[in-house]
Amino acid sequence: MKKIRIFVSALEYSANIHLYYLLNALQKREVDFEICGIFDTKVLKIESTFSPNEFRVMGFVGVLGLIPKFFRIKKSLVALAKECDFALFMDSSSFNIPLLKSLHQAKNKPHLVYYILPQVWAWKPYRAKILSVFCDSLWGILPFEGHYYPKTSNFSYVGHPLLDEIPFSYTKVNSSNLIAFMPGSRISEIKALFPIFKKLIKHLKKINKKGLLIVPKHFKNRNLLEIYGDLEDFEISFETYEGLGRCEFAFVCSGTATLESTLLGIPTILVYKARWLDYWIAKRLVKLNYIGLANIFLEFLAYGLPKNNNNPQNFPIHPEFLQDQVKVEALLKAFYEFDNEKFFAQKEKLMEYLKNGSAENCARKIENFVKNLQN
């Protein structure tokens, strides 16, 4: 089989984890490939051309500072991608769409694929039309995404990558008296949430609960006291799945982690505090009832689209506390009133809705592309 050269643009840590599983699936299919571009060397154990750490930012305001740097390296990225057979763009649409535009206009361009599509169902719906023009294929990880793209686009639902990655999924409470705390992967998130979590665990200790702080792996060689402050009430874990697997409940910062804990079957409360300017901008741009992915997906499953409901019935699968709502008393009340039976019933619906992982389907598509090159 012909060797294929793949250009990758994967800035986010979660995108690199998804890419890791996709490349493993390609290797199992004995597809001969090499990759270049922007990806995390530590995750993939492959030397990257550019490090994603240079381009990771938090919030709308932080993006502005990256614009000059992006334009400095854009030509290099486009030239590198043009030397490849296949180009895979993952998440980070504000970064990737300008690259796609340049490649789409190029004479000798690779096959352009977007995997981990932008959330056009939440905001900037016009990007669906842009991507359908620029990309040869669109690989969706949500069953409802295809409704937002033109019928002429080459869209396909490939499954959700987290279903490849989670090692277990509880169907009832894992009674351990251990509570997981995940205050985020960025220092700004941690500084906003962890002081609340420290107060919270002191209350929960009175009912014999213990705290487990799950620390992102990229902090492993850092001074945790500088990042988190006093840690005397917490056991520490750097392994997300191993740590969550020992817990009966979790307080989690918004993001992919809330979907992970939900799919693992860990009853979860979502908490989030952003910089006020970022939050103010997001509130005006994003037209959704929830920010938790599990809540959003289940609402789509029930209604086919986000819907304002005075009586939301089984929503949400987990409560959400944002900005000024993030108070110890409110979080304690939600913990004591949490409906475990509803949580596990909704979790099973969510698993059925997402159906399967995405790595195998994506690898199969790349394998077929290679076969077509030989014909």
Does residue 316 register a pLDDT over 90?
A: no
| pLDDT of res. 74 | 85
- Residue 171: is its pLDDT beyond 60? yes
- Give the C-alpha separation, 244 to 249, whole Å: 8
In this prediction, residue 67 carries a pLDDT of 63
What pLDDT does residue 13 have? 86
Token duo for residue 200: 């919270």
Given a cut of 50, whether residue 59 has pLDDT beyond it is no
pLDDT for 311 equals 46
Of the pLDDT bands very low, low, confident and very high (cuts 50, 70, 90), residue 60 is very low
What mean pLDDT is reported for the chain?
A: 90
Query: Which has more confidence, 287 or 267?
Result: 267
Q: Which of 7-16, 195-204, 308-317 has the highest mean pLDDT?
A: 195-204
Which pLDDT value is given to residue 214? Answer: 98
pTM to 2 decimal places: 0.88
pLDDT bucket at 309, cuts 50 / 70 / 90 = low
Average pLDDT value for residue range 209-234: 95
pLDDT exceeding 90 applies to what percent of the chain?
A: 72
Q: What pLDDT does residue 58 have? A: 41
Residue 51 pLDDT class (50, 70, 90 cuts): confident
Q: Grade residue 369 by pLDDT with cuts at 50, 70 and 90.
A: very high
